[in-house]
Amino acid sequence: MVIEMLTYGQGLLFGVAYIAPIGVQNLYTINTALAQPRGRALRAALIITFFDISLALASFFGIGKLLKVIPLLEQVILIVGSLMVLVIGVSLLKAQDVTMPDAAANERFSYWKVVASAFAIAWLNPQAILDGTMLLGAFRVSMVGNAGNLFIGGVCTASVLWFTGLTFVTSLLKDRFQAKFLLLLNRVCGVIIIGYGLRLLWKFVAQFI
């Protein structure tokens, strides 16, 4: 039971560190929370969460079929995934500023527009697909049995907590929200992600020892 909880917690922690760095999804979430009433913004956050989770699940489980056809792919994913994780982590630590969204533009709100935007920033974003496949795929090949299900469960939970939490806090602190906080958040996540990258790199090296 303890091992299961640790695996779930690992997925939860990784999920937060993976989602939290300021990117298109987070900026869109923040902008919506700044421009719309809290209730409406929270409903939009759930739509964003749905597409984020769907991409995470596809990235995590889809890699299994390819591994059966190309066994060598496991080593490729581990080495490429670990290096990508390290690059992302280092880039977050080196970031000097974060651009805040413009809250002045409050266009006519439409849930269909939110659905289209949430889908586009997740599924039509090549970088998001590449990062998701490599990062989550790397963890998938490093786990056996039910560990993978617990890990991705933690990642999905992190998505729900993050986007709803980010929306609520942004809506609550509209007048005091500062870019310095986002920059600090990026750096904290950078340290966590580098730790995960080193762990994956060790798994790759350990295969040849």
Domain spans in the chain, listed from the N-terminal domain onward: 2-206
CA 11, CA 5: separation in Å to the nearest integer? 10
Name, of 18-22, 54-58, 162-166, 194-198, the range with top average pLDDT.
162-166
pTM above 0.95, yes or no: no
Q: What percent of the chain has pLDDT over 70?
A: 85
Interacting residues of 50 by C-beta distance below 8 A, sequence separation 6+: 118
CA 78, CA 80: separation in Å to the nearest integer? 6
Interacting residues of 88 by C-beta distance below 8 A, sequence separation 6+: 21, 131, 190, 193, 197
167 phi and psi angles, rounded to 5 deg: -65, -45
Cβ contact 103:28 at 8 Å: no
pLDDT tens per residue across span 84-104: 778 877 877 886 665 555 544
Cβ contact 34:170 at 8 Å: yes
Give the confidence band of 40 by pLDDT, cuts at 50, 70, 90: very high
Instruction: Please give the pLDDT value at position 104.
Output: 45
Tokens of 98: 């974060």
Q: Find the angle CA(93)-CA(19)-CA(26) to the nearest 5 degrees.
A: 95
pLDDT tens per residue across span 143-196: 877 888 999 999 999 999 999 999 999 888 877 766 677 677 767 777 877 887
Inform me whether the pLDDT recorded for 106 exceeds 70: no
